[in-house]
Structure 1
Amino acid sequence: MSIMFDEILTEPEVIKNAIHANEKKVTDIAAEVKKRKIKNITIIGRGTSDNAGLCFKYFAEILSGIPSGTAHPSVTTMYGANVDYSDHLFVAISQSGRSIDTLAVLSQANKQGALTVAVTNDATSPLARAGKYHLDLSAGVEKSIASAKSYIAELTVLYMLAIALSGKPLMPVVYSFPQRVEEAIELLPAIAEAAEQTKDLNNFIILSRGVMQGVGKELMLKLNECAYTFAQFYGTNDFMHGPYALVEEGVNIIILAPDGECSENFRDIATRLQLLNANVLTFSDNQQLLNLATYGVKMPSMDNLSCTIAYSVAMHLFAIELAKQKGKNPDAPRNLKKVTITK
């Protein structure tokens, strides 16, 4: 089918490798956080790694209660600011480990005495060597330019870290992640049908809320790079504070809506969009939400944190299928290289 798809098929094994490689490391990091009484987490990443970092923010705050925020590299690299990370757990995420701006900020955090963690797929990379701790994605060589398996490995190790920070043992839900991937892959016929139904649509508004915001941003990125389709992500409540004015008959919207804490919010906005005659593609395990949609993909039911795994795989598959329907090659996005170096 494609290199990207072939690598998605390896993700159950990738997850197992990532768990094995990092189970002790996340415990060690959590022990040092507790010993040093660290009360803040700062996260940095670019592109897909930034999306994984946004998921980690929710994992960490929900499971451990530690406030978590994002560092913007330009504050350091362009403006020369000396941000104080001295009492922070500083988590830098980069699949290649070669992003110059990410490395620059982590190096600053090191000098200030932060507890630094590098998350990469290359243990020999500059970022991996610079962090006090290194969480190895253990995903193997990734040939696809649009990252898929390394992103799933990032979600896995970051979820593990969040659990460790909570002081609890590694929960059985982590060991179920390979099954979550397999369940999403089994949805390929339904996902391919949704791509066929939406192949002539060229612009999408993507909506979700909570922990799924990182997944929504990841779908936005993959539609851009694989299918050359413009998309913009909004959290559902942010969407109501202005962008809602974009909605008119025929506007194209994708909703990522796992059943759970945010279901009432999803039902409210789906009802509003139906009344305005928007074209809505909904990914959900909630049949009521699917009934409100123009097109729907029935997702498996699971807890509202680990659903990030299954939905991310489904979003990658949708981007591949939409690219194919549009006559594009998801393995050869124009203007892009596998490793992006930014300063």
Structure 2
Amino acid sequence: MTRQTEPSAGQHMSAEVASQPKIFADLVARRGEIAEIAAQVSARRPRFALLAARGSSDHAALYAKYLIEVLLQLPAGLVSPSTTTLYGAQPDLTDVLLISVSQSGGSPDLLEVTESARARGALTVAVTNTPDSPLNNAAELSVDVGAGPELAVAATKTYSATLLALYLLIDAVRGGSGEHAAALGELAQQTLDESAAAVQEAVQRFRFVDRVLTTGRGYSSATAAEAALKLAETSYLSARSYSGADLLHGPVAAVDAETGVLAVTSAGKGGAAMSEVLDVIHSRGADVFAVGSAASRVSAALRIPVAETAEEVAPVLEVLPIQRLALGLSLARGGDPDSPRGLNKVTKTR
């Protein structure tokens, strides 16, 4: 009789992090079908964009908000689902684009928001990892993230693939060719390989820290927010995310030598804007850990390299070593990131 081997802690999350280069390459190869959805969006000429999401998908939506405002020059906002689900708000959404972002496509509040928005005139697009989900059926158009089943509770491959799917969609809406995303599969593998040693060093430096602050500017604000969530849900750290623009306005008072600071600094305007902020943080004695293609250009005790790309796609890569950090810290602190305490894969809210 063959004895069934118990799964080792973190094996699902580890495998899913490692699978991302191929997922990116496959998604880029499907750019044509995403461009067909984008053509329908362009034809409707939306005057405003709204994004609805929860959890990690909310951070992907924040990234999409930057893309829409910068690349499409359209005003964009993040929906508060409870204005619809709890308060029954019914604004006129004629000529508005609503993008609902959900890995599972099963959250009741996002489903209600999408159904309500469509009934009130919005062009609705679902971006999910579950093509036959209720959310996809409710939306007029849908984009399949194509990351495959995710077994670990913490989202890794579905998060990064959602970023890439959103980029390919929005880039195609503006008439782009997806050229900045073309090599992301190869660059993702390069990033995972070249950052491995620095991530292990960061695990050893951060394993006894109880308070972590994450920060970034521009497109990388989404990565900083996702980093705080990953560290909180897998390692049970007290982690808080701030925009680099807000950090010096008050939160810096809580930074001292006992604070771990994870700063996302990729090449471009957002990363350049972090330089002065990190000079101040570093001078306060905080253990600053810089992640990104511009990490070597800022004040930090430890730097984790990321392959350089156009700034608008940097978040797809810069989150990879952060996922590995969350995995390593969870294991070093005696946890199992595949099943964090008190969490389920799908959270249903209204």
Q: Specify if TM > 0.5.
A: yes
Instruction: Answer yes or no: is the 8 Å Cα contact 2:103–2:129 preserved in 1.
Output: yes
Q: Please name the residue that 2:72 is paired with.
A: 64
Residue type at the aligned position of 2:234: C
> What is the CA-CA distance between 1:180 and the residue it aligns to?
2.4
Q: Please name the residue that 1:311 is paired with.
A: 318
Q: Please name the residue that 1:172 is paired with.
A: 179
Matching of residue 251 in structure 1 with residue 259 in structure 2: yes
Residue type at the aligned position of 2:347: T
In 2, Cα distance between the equivalents of 1:83 and 1:33?
21
Instruction: Answer yes or no: is the 8 Å Cα contact 1:137–1:150 preserved in 2.
Output: yes
> What is the CA-CA distance between 1:18 and the residue it aligns to?
2.7
Which of 210, 214, 219 is 2:227 aligned to? Answer: 219
1:162-221 C-alpha deviation (Å, 9 max, x unpaired) = 1112122x2222121112221221112210111111111011111110000111111111
Task: Name structure 2 gaps, 5 residues minimum.
Answer: 1-9
Q: Please name the residue that 1:193 is paired with.
A: 201
Paired-residue identity, %: 30
Q: Please name the residue that 1:3 is paired with.
A: 12
Q: Please name the residue that 1:129 is paired with.
A: 137
In 2, Cα distance between the equivalents of 1:296 and 1:5?
22
SS at match of 1:44: strand
In 2, Cα distance between the equivalents of 1:154 and 1:52?
7
In 1, Cα distance between the equivalents of 2:335 and 2:197?
19
In 2, Cα distance between the equivalents of 1:75 and 1:255?
33
> What is the CA-CA distance between 1:296 and the residue it aligns to?
2.2
CA RMSD of aligned residues (A): 1.7
Instruction: Answer yes or no: is the 8 Å Cα contact 1:266–1:289 preserved in 2.
Output: no
Which of 263, 267, 272 is 2:275 aligned to? Answer: 267
In 1, Cα distance between the equivalents of 2:122 and 2:178?
28
Residue type at the aligned position of 1:313: L
Matching of residue 16 in structure 1 with residue 5 in structure 2: no
Instruction: Answer yes or no: is the 8 Å Cα contact 1:180–1:309 preserved in 2.
Output: no
In 2, Cα distance between the equivalents of 1:262 and 1:136?
29
Matching of residue 333 in structure 1 with residue 340 in structure 2: yes
Instruction: Answer yes or no: is the 8 Å Cα contact 2:220–2:270 preserved in 1.
Output: no
SS at match of 1:262: helix
Instruction: Answer yes or no: is the 8 Å Cα contact 2:216–2:271 preserved in 1.
Output: no
1:26-73 C-alpha deviation (Å, 9 max, x unpaired) = 333333333332121110110011111111111222222122111110
Residue type at the aligned position of 2:17: I
In 2, Cα distance between the equivalents of 1:274 and 1:11?
32
Instruction: Answer yes or no: is the 8 Å Cα contact 1:60–1:165 preserved in 2.
Output: no
SS at match of 1:306: helix
Alignment CA distance shift 1:263-1:138 (3 Å): closer
Instruction: Answer yes or no: is the 8 Å Cα contact 1:43–1:91 preserved in 2.
Output: yes
> What is the CA-CA distance between 1:287 and the residue it aligns to?
6.0
Which of 285, 289, 296 is 1:281 aligned to? Answer: 289
1:91-116 C-alpha deviation (Å, 9 max, x unpaired) = 00111110000000000111012111
Instruction: Answer yes or no: is the 8 Å Cα contact 2:231–2:237 preserved in 1.
Output: yes
Aligned length: 340
In 2, Cα distance between the equivalents of 1:88 and 1:147?
29
Instruction: Answer yes or no: is the 8 Å Cα contact 1:211–1:308 preserved in 2.
Output: yes
Task: Name structure 1 gaps, 5 residues minimum.
Answer: none
1:270-296 C-alpha deviation (Å, 9 max, x unpaired) = 111222222211124336545x21222
Matching of residue 238 in structure 1 with residue 246 in structure 2: yes
1:222-273 C-alpha deviation (Å, 9 max, x unpaired) = 1011111110000011112221222234332111111321344222111112
SS at match of 1:141: coil
In 1, Cα distance between the equivalents of 2:35 and 2:205?
46
Residue type at the aligned position of 1:14: I
Matching of residue 141 in structure 1 with residue 149 in structure 2: yes
SS at match of 2:311: coil
Which of 66, 81, 102 is 2:110 aligned to? Answer: 102
Which of 331, 339, 347 is 1:324 aligned to? Answer: 331
**TM-score, reference length from structure 1:** 0.94
SS at match of 2:269: coil
Which of 307, 323, 329 is 1:300 aligned to? Answer: 307
Residue type at the aligned position of 2:178: M
Residue type at the aligned position of 1:300: A
Residue type at the aligned position of 1:15: F
**TM-score, reference length from structure 2:** 0.92
